[in-house]
Amino acid sequence: MKKIFIMSLLCVGFTAVLAFAQAELESAIEAPEDDLEINYIEGNSKRNLGVVFNHSSHEDIDCFTCHHKNSVADEPESCSNCHTDMAPDAQGTKSYFRAMHVKGTEQTTCLSCHEEEFSGDKDLTGCANSSCHPTGLY
């Protein structure tokens, strides 16, 4: 019985240490400044598909909800590191546009999260003239 109690305490302690280490890592990550323009599609389309993104309005969301974890530095990866096909009509996992907009995947996308959080609010879920694309798509 004593061994079970000690093993249980060790497991709880180890879990607490891991949780604290993860929290410390996340608090050490510095997000880019607000008004970050994301427009990798530019030059690959006749349409302006850029988005101005503010990390401060997303500060309550764990970085790794949206970003994959860099396996070397345990830091968030830029989506464009892996999603390198910038054509707006690209298909498959390399499509940058689909990485931001596709629904029903394991990884959270901008559109899937916004539709879940702001269902029915065209300013936060719509395309043209929304908060995401305030100047439209053309």
If one compares 86 and 71, the residue with the highest pLDDT of the two is 86
Region for residue 43 given its phi and psi (left: phi exceeds 0; alpha: psi -120 to 50; beta: otherwise): left
- Phi and psi at residue 76, in whole multiples of 5°? -65, 135
Sign of the CA dihedral 118, 119, 120, 123? positive
Q: In this predicted model, what pLDDT tens digit does every residue of 2-33 receive, in sequence order? A: 766 565 555 555 565 455 545 444 456 787 78
The CATH number of the structural domain formed by 31-138 is 3.90.10.10
- pTM, two decimals, is 0.65
Confidence label for 98 from pLDDT (cuts 50, 70 and 90)? confident
Structure token digits, residue 108:
């959270």
